[in-house]
Amino acid sequence: AQSVTQLGSHVSVSEGALVLLRCNYSSSVPPYLFWYVQYPNQGLQLLLKYTTGATLVKGINGFEAEFKKSETSFHLTKPSAHMSDAAEYFCAVSDGGSSNTGKLIFGQGTTLQVKP
């Protein structure tokens, strides 16, 4: 069965500093991985995804993530934090790999605070 662990429920960085949000997964099949962002009182928005191919994936708003199979990780990074990046971030893995069983398994979420 698939599972996702996000290390750190709350991360605080200064504006302009590196953002690093950690995600580790467990999957019995080739994983398909996603990062979503959620702003207050809004739905989830896809930041980026890894399905196949290049292990370093770039997303919206300057975020990127690297799939590391040996470490079962998919950490999210951004070189320079902006105040507008303050939000909740969720890592997710597709349940069932490519068989499309219809579900995503979400991590617990990480709240990113950006200090001026």
Partner 1 sequence: DAMVIQNPRYQVTQFGKPVTLSCSQTLNHNVMYWYQQKSSQAPKLLFHYYDKDFNNEADTPDNFQSRRPNTSFCFLDIRSPGLGDAAMYLCATSKKGSYNEQFFGPGTRLTVL
Binding site for partner 1 (CB under 8 A): 32, 34, 36, 41-46, 49, 51, 88, 90, 94-98, 100-104, 106-109, 111
Under DSSP, the state recorded for 83 is G
Do the beta carbons of residue 74 and residue 25 sit within 8 Å? yes
Bridge partners (DSSP) listed for residue 110: 89
Please report, for residues 22, 60, 69, 108, the alpha-carbon distance to residue 13 in angstroms, rounded to integers and kept in the order given: 14, 19, 27, 20
The two three-digit tokens of residue 18, written as one number: 């590196």
Nearer to partner 1, 82 or 103 (CB): 103
Minimum CB separation from partner 1 for residue 13, in Å? 19
Nearer to partner 1, 43 or 116 (CB): 43
Minimum CB separation from partner 1 for residue 110, in Å? 11
Nearer to partner 1, 12 or 98 (CB): 98
Minimum CB separation from partner 1 for residue 28, in Å? 15
